[in-house]
Structure 1
Amino acid sequence: MSQEVRGVIAPGKGQPVRLDTVVVPDPGPGEALVKIQSCGVCHTDLHYREGGINDDFPFLLGHEAAGIVEAVGEGVEDLAAGDFVVLNWRAVCGKCRACLRGRPWYCFNTHNATQKMTLKDGTVLSPALGIGAFIEKTLVHSGQCTKVDPTADPKAVGLLGCGVMAGLGAAINTGGVTRGDTVAVFGCGGVGDAAIAGARLAGARTIIGVDVDDRKLAWARKLGATHTVNAKQTDPVEAIREATGGFGADVVIEAIGRPETYEQAFYARDLAGTVVLVGVPTPDMRLEMPLLDFFGRGGALKSSWYGDCLPSRDFPMLVDLYQQGRLDLDAFVSETTTLDDIEAAFEKMHAGEVLRSVVVL
């Protein structure tokens, strides 16, 4: 029997969000019903509201979430009512060419719930990243639920569902940061600071945060940056070289998604170093650089999708590190808020006033 719960809807491009009644079906085969405890307010949700992802309005927003499984559908064997889970948008299929080659973190055919959540009048909703978690209860594919330590704080560990995992994974999984490396991160918002935390966790000896906002640079230092550069005042490429013996960093992570900062990241790396793009560009952006420089500097140029994470592998490990005090996920929670205040949270995020606002239900 379906349930009626409250959820945050983006009705049309650029329109303010609203709190509405959502009809959530009972879970069918392979699905799970999850009672949401917390959900981070991510830039991706704002992109959905602005029509920057696609135009499948109305959207049910929210995706960085943790909660308790309330029920599961037929055929679900590795999940049960009462399990504490972090939701993810990479429920791997196990059958596509990436999965069959042993690279499930690149899965090209990830699963979502088959049934649709709707408004009371029957209007079908498009859940953000196949999740839709600014809601009291949501319906997802069971593979989108990753069981973690039930004693962990949902406000903190729910952030692994998107932005924090994207940054941590960009450093550890995609960038391959290891002991003794030098690392530079362009953009010290939530994703960039998570990359800094990941580099620290991996044992990097020098970690340089670059931004134009001193408040964000202070966050970067708190999360592990050994050096910070305000790019409004100092040439970041020269500053990174100075901090790395004149060579440039072994791994440079671009967490903004702009051509000009990507170019700076490219020239700020050491010869044969690695550049990781985790910031999301817009479709109109173009990059023009000498092709010879790509050849002459060697190394690797990579893009990081969701931190190249495998939730079943990475989420439990990172939650354990958080519980041990070795990964400060609490530092990413700038404030808590409610479903009624999503627009205000968007404004604070857009103004750079918070790392993460977290909706608590």
Structure 2
Amino acid sequence: MQQVKGVIARSKGAPVEVVTINVPDPGPGEAVVKIQACGVCHTDLHYREGGINDEFPFLLGHEAAGIVEAVGEGVTGVAPGDFVILNWRAVCGQCRACKRGEAQYCFNTHNATQQMTLEDGTELTPALGIGAFAEKTLVAAGQCTKVDPDARPAAAGLLGCGVMAGIGAAINTGAVTRGRSVAVIGCGGVGAAAIAGSALAGASPIIAVDIDAKKLEKAKSLGATHTVDSSATDPVAAIKEIAAGFYEGAEGADVVIEAVGRPETWKQAFYARDLAGTVVLVGVPTPEMKVPDLPLIDVFGRGGALKSSWYGDCLPTRDFPMLIDLYRQGRLDLDAFVTEEIALDEIEAAFEKMHHGDVLRSVVIL
């Protein structure tokens, strides 16, 4: 066992604290990773606010990259010294999804068996089974995906959650390709990544929708061909008009990605898609939210698909190395998502900046 510094949420709504935590030596199937960088994701704030569950105290942080320090018995996929991105989908290989060759939908993903603790022995709940706002963390070895070690850790780690969720929502879930139009409603970190993914896939037009002018400008820099300020313009009408200008007879975008997670914006996405188009929900709703009231004839009559995208339907072993290669080739600008680099004791301030929409990502550098 070793002791390191980490950031915890001790109780609902309380400011986060930098404390000493105990990290066990890795057991069978486990790995200890020395964290180099970890993004501050809105999910971490959800944990602090009790929006995920009440299993306090939480060891926060999950969008991380680092170096494998030690592995336990039976680990063959990674070795000490490997540069890895951490993921929260260590697939089991045995469930019905895995056995039918769809490991990205694994129904039995797992985490480390041992628990990290406070100095007094209080067990910590690691955010998304990772807990990477720490100098070192203990994870299941399957949560480590080896990638090109020349990648910048601050940028690479963001594939661990938000950026992968957005890119995957476009490419994996929405099946965005050349010749398809895309609209993205909500241009925070995940929505901006969906725009970047759509541009990577060759979609056109790519329509960014938000109420924040700064986010719309960032969306343009990441590949949006059009922007819509939905505080001043009806987004459904605007998306329909833009799509029709590109493809004769189009009644909306081929794929509309909802990256807010609210019933109102999901309903906009539903009506902004073309006939036989696809809606992808990647924004995370809260438990009390309901699907908006829709005439069933509209659901039937418009055809197409209504999908949710969990972690961008990614398979880390397939997607992380590919996206890092594209980053290294200069074809995917992961650096654009890093707004600022901060220290462990600046996470509370980063949450406040997140509230005000001032950042795509603050990234903790260790």
- TM-score normalised by L of structure 2: 0.98
- Report the counterpart of residue 311 of structure 2 in structure 1: 306
Equivalent runs, 1:5-154 vs 2, <5 Å: 5-154=4-153
Kept in 1: contact 2:77–2:142 (CA 8 A): no
Counterpart of 2:267, as a letter, is E
Which of 288, 298, 313 is the aligned partner of 1:284? 288
Report whether the alignment pairs 1:265 with 2:269. Answer: yes
Counterpart of 1:309, as a letter, is C
| Deviation string, structure 1 residues 208-239 (Cα, Å, up to 9, x no partner) | 00000101101110110000000011110111
Aligned-pair CA distance for 1:100: 1.1
Aligned residues between the structures: 360
Report whether the alignment pairs 1:202 with 2:201. Answer: yes
SS of the counterpart of 1:266?
A: helix
In 1, Cα distance between the equivalents of 2:77 and 2:310?
26
In 2, Cα distance between the equivalents of 1:92 and 1:315?
15
Which runs of no fewer than 5 residues in structure 1 stay unpaired? none
Counterpart of 1:102, as a letter, is G
- Report the counterpart of residue 357 of structure 2 in structure 1: 352
| Deviation string, structure 1 residues 236-289 (Cα, Å, up to 9, x no partner) | 011111111152100000000001100000000000000000001111112211
- Report the counterpart of residue 157 of structure 2 in structure 1: 158
| Deviation string, structure 1 residues 75-127 (Cα, Å, up to 9, x no partner) | 00121110000000000000111111111101111110000000000000000
Equivalent runs, 1:158-237 vs 2, <5 Å: 158-237=157-236
| Deviation string, structure 1 residues 110-152 (Cα, Å, up to 9, x no partner) | 1100000000000000000000000000000000000000000
In 2, Cα distance between the equivalents of 1:56 and 1:108?
22
In 1, Cα distance between the equivalents of 2:315 and 2:14?
34
Which runs of no fewer than 5 residues in structure 2 stay unpaired? 245-249
In 2, Cα distance between the equivalents of 1:48 and 1:309?
23
In 2, Cα distance between the equivalents of 1:166 and 1:228?
21
Report whether the alignment pairs 1:297 with 2:308. Answer: no
Aligned-pair CA distance for 1:291: 1.0
In 1, Cα distance between the equivalents of 2:357 and 2:58?
24
Counterpart of 1:191, as a letter, is V
- Report the counterpart of residue 253 of structure 1 in structure 2: 257
In 1, Cα distance between the equivalents of 2:286 and 2:78?
37
Counterpart of 1:339, as a letter, is L
Which stretches of structure 1, 4 residues or longer, exceed 4 Å deviation after superposition? none
In 2, Cα distance between the equivalents of 1:283 and 1:147?
35
In 1, Cα distance between the equivalents of 2:285 and 2:114?
32
In 2, Cα distance between the equivalents of 1:207 and 1:265?
14
CA RMSD, Structure 1 to Structure 2 (Å): 0.5
- TM-score normalised by L of structure 1: 0.99
Counterpart of 1:256, as a letter, is V
| Deviation string, structure 1 residues 30-83 (Cα, Å, up to 9, x no partner) | 000000000000000000000000000000000000000000000001211100
